[in-house]
Amino acid sequence: MSAVAEQTARSETDPTVPILELRHVSKRFVKRLDLAAKIANLVGATLRDEIVQAVDDVSLTVADGEVVGLVGESGCGKSTLGRVVAGVHPATTGTVHFRDREVTSLRGPEARDAALKIQMIFQDPMSSLNPRMRVKDIVGEAAVVHGLVDAKGVDDYVAQTLMRVGLDPVYMRRYPHQFSGGQRQRIGIARALAVQPDFLVCDESVAALDVSIQAQVLNLFMKLREELNLTYLFISHDLGVVEHLSDRVVIMYLGRVVETAPTEALFDAPNHPYTQALLAEIPRLDSRKRRFVPVKGEIPSPLDPPTGCHFHPRCPHATARCAAEQPVLREIAPGRWSACHLNDAG
């Protein structure tokens, strides 16, 4: 049996153990003063290091085979959270658990396995694919390095992987620039699949593609989910993209999760005022496709977030309490969580 087929036939794991669990994960970036700023301080300026709380105390559980959509406006910390999940960034505080094992505590082959099991698919395949490498090497290299296939079998292995993502293997000796945007994204997906992951973090993975190509790539993700029993964290600033694809949606605002709910429940009856604002649609007569309008008001700077509920300067329901006290994320109905003081009334 080929390695790809083996992956397909992989036995089901214990369904009671979540595949991924984040416990109180925060990620802070510190931008140190450069030399010019230090000199300015010597002559009386009062410049300080800039601290961005990109992810602020996020706890999240993802079940095996689940597709979780992570949504929020630009700068709210989606990519940072995705990178912490994929092991690209260490969390500043909090822990990441993959199949019940804390990832950072693993060493040697176990650490390597865990790292391979979560792969990331990026927005711009052109900048994430090495332009001087042939597709064959882009897709096959990591699988050989990690001993998933030997050098003799790599051509077959790459061919099978390319077919899985809808690419003709006859092109495996070509370079990335010889493909269209959609095909390049498929190469990026093939590269991720070649190391036999269980979990894909897709970060705006269709945002750079034409709408018709977007639909094809989204369909591919769903086909792969079925065939390979994959679990997804699907990051997008566009609610329309996650609506038809996610089992559950997580809404972030300035580093914090403000609401999470099964997709249908969230779209039918959004609880959090920020989700309600995100969901405000432009009615369209010409098609049944939803279109969402941007939320009114400026996104505050993550360098200096508002006190209390971060959303209060833009919230139509804000009270004095909202500016003073941070609302906790709590369960408001089975499987539905929201962080808003309005849920305390009554």
Ligand X SMILES: Nc1ncnc2c1ncn2[C@@H]1O[C@H](COP(=O)(O)OP(=O)(O)O)[C@@H](O)[C@H]1O
Can you give the binding site for ligand SF4, defined by CB under 6 A? Answer: 272-273, 309, 311-312, 315, 317-318, 322, 327, 340-342
SS3 178: helix
Assess 171 for contact with ligand X (CB under 6 A): no
Assess 119 for contact with ligand X (CB under 6 A): no
Asked whether 247 and 61 are in contact (CB, 8 A), the reply is no
Assess 127 for contact with ligand X (CB under 6 A): no
What is the nearest approach in angstroms of ligand SF4 to the Cβ of residue 332?
12
Segment contacting Mg ion (CB under 5 A): 22-30, 31-39, 74-82, 335-343?
74-82
Q: What residues numbered 246-265 form the site for ligand X, per CB under 6 A?
A: none
Interaction partner, residue 315 (ligand X, ligand SF4, Mg ion, none; CB < 5-8 Å by kind): ligand SF4
User: What letter does residue 49 receive in the DSSP assignment?
Assistant: -
Interaction partner, residue 80 (ligand X, Mg ion, ligand SF4, none; CB < 5-8 Å by kind): ligand X
Amino acid at 167: L
What is the nearest approach in angstroms of ligand SF4 to the Cβ of residue 286?
33
Assess 29 for contact with ligand X (CB under 6 A): yes
Assess 79 for contact with Mg ion (CB under 5 A): yes
Long-range contacts of 2-9 (CB under 8 A, 24+ apart): 2/156, 2/157, 2/160, 3/143, 3/148, 3/149, 3/157, 3/196, 4/157, 4/160, 4/161, 4/164, 7/196, 7/228, 8/227, 8/228
Interaction partner, residue 327 (ligand X, Mg ion, ligand SF4, none; CB < 5-8 Å by kind): ligand SF4
Residue of 188, 196, 227, 245 whose CA lies nearest to 68: 245
Q: How far is CA 264 from CA 225, 270, 320, 329, 331, in A?
A: 20, 10, 32, 20, 17
Q: What residues numbered 295-324 form the site for ligand X, per CB under 6 A?
A: 302
C-beta of 158 vs 315, nearer to ligand SF4: 315
What is the nearest approach in angstroms of ligand X to the Cβ of residue 79?
3
Cβ count within 10 A of residue 37: 14
Distance CA 287, CA 284 (A): 6
Q: What are the tokens at 97?
A: 């658990």
Segment contacting Mg ion (CB under 5 A): 32-40, 71-79, 87-95, 139-147?
71-79
Q: Which residue is nearest to Mg ion (CB)?
A: 79
What is the nearest approach in angstroms of ligand X to the Cβ of residue 67?
19
Distance CA 208, CA 182 (A): 9
Residues near Mg ion, by CB under 5 A: 79
- The residues that touch ligand X, with contacts defined as CB under 6 A, are 29, 31, 52, 54, 72, 74-80, 302
